[in-house]
Amino acid sequence: MKITILNGQSAHEGSTREIAKQIVASVAGADAFVSEFSFPADYKGSFCRGCSACFFSGEKECGDAPSVQPIIESMVAADLIVLSSPTYAYGISGALKTFLDHLGYCWIEHRPYPGMFSKVGLCVSTSGLVPGSKRVVDQLIDNMHGWGISKVVGYAKAIFSTSWSRVQPKVKEQIEAEIPQIAEQVKALFGKGGVSEAVKNSFMETRAIQQGNVWNKLDRDYWEQAGWLAEGLPWED
């Protein structure tokens, strides 16, 4: 099994990263090939400039393509993609969001990678209070749905701490009891067919738009070459 982990924090071994790694270990054991990227340490690019080069000229024309594309290649090759972000001001960490903004071109509305529709996703966040981590997990899942991944498990946890070493023993016991349950949910999605209605609807709505697309030749040609403008689907129906 190939796994790609994107961590929204790199300054320290935080709780979110620790929990994500424990879930991954429970899912895949020692046989997994894991590629891990922590932001901002493993990303040398900059913020999205809004230049739209990725939309109209191609993703490799982005000024940050040398930093962005190797990470995307790892995601495309993975069986399981893991997004883990601590909660910062009730949102995704800025470091991870900086990278995710560069992936707008591969959302369903533009040029989604066909393989994404069959992948499994895991989204993890921790926070001081429950609402924060839940909101972040929902945001991370939205990104996965945007790429075409509908088989996603989310885990949000209030840890009442800013570091794993300071998490109270009782909370750690709860987490350790929940990790195997989350891992089983993830494992159950492998080999499971089907795409969610939300992702299907997004694809079908985009198909109708792309059939009349006269403003972005790159997107329309992509859909036409994939056979999606007619009856083709990027997943086995």
| Residue range 81-104, pLDDT digits in tens | 999 999 999 999 999 999 999 999
Among residues 57, 51, 123, 58, which one has the least CA distance to residue 87? Answer: 123
Q: What integer is the mean pLDDT of 18-38?
A: 90
| Sheet containing 2-7: order of strands | 33-38, 2-7, 80-84, 120-127, 151-158
pLDDT exceeds 80 at position 155? yes
In the predicted model, what is the mean pLDDT of the chain? 93
pLDDT band at residue 133 under the 50/70/90 scheme: very high
Least confident of 27-36, 57-66, 180-189, 206-215: 27-36
* 8 A C-beta contact, residue 165 and residue 15: no
Domains, the chain, ranges and CATH?
Answer: 2-192 (3.40.50.360)
pLDDT band at residue 62 under the 50/70/90 scheme: very high
Distance of CA 85 to the CA centre of its chain: 11
| 28/23 Cα distance (integer angstroms) | 9
DSSP code, position 126:
E
The fraction of the chain above a pLDDT of 70, given in percent, is 99
Tell me phi and psi for residue 156, to 5 degrees.
-115, 135
User: Tokens standing for 237?
Assistant: 């129906």
| Residue 213, burial from CB neighbour count under 10 angstroms (0-12, 13-18, 19+) | middle
pLDDT band at residue 131 under the 50/70/90 scheme: confident
Residue 237 has what pLDDT? Answer: 59
Q: What beta strand segments (E) does 39-150 contain?
A: 80-84, 120-127
pTM exceeding 0.75: yes
- Residue 105 Cα distances to 55, 121, 133, 154, angstroms: 6, 19, 27, 24
Q: From the CA atom positions of the chain, what is the Rg in Å? A: 18
Residue 31 has what pLDDT? Answer: 76
Q: Which secondary structure element, helix H or strand E, spans residue 154, and what is its range?
A: strand 151-158
Least confident of 26-35, 39-48, 107-116: 26-35
Q: Which secondary structure element, helix H or strand E, spans residue 234, and what is its range?
A: none
pLDDT for 171-199, tens place per residue?
A: 999 999 999 999 999 999 998 878 999 99
Q: What integer is the mean pLDDT of 28-38?
A: 87
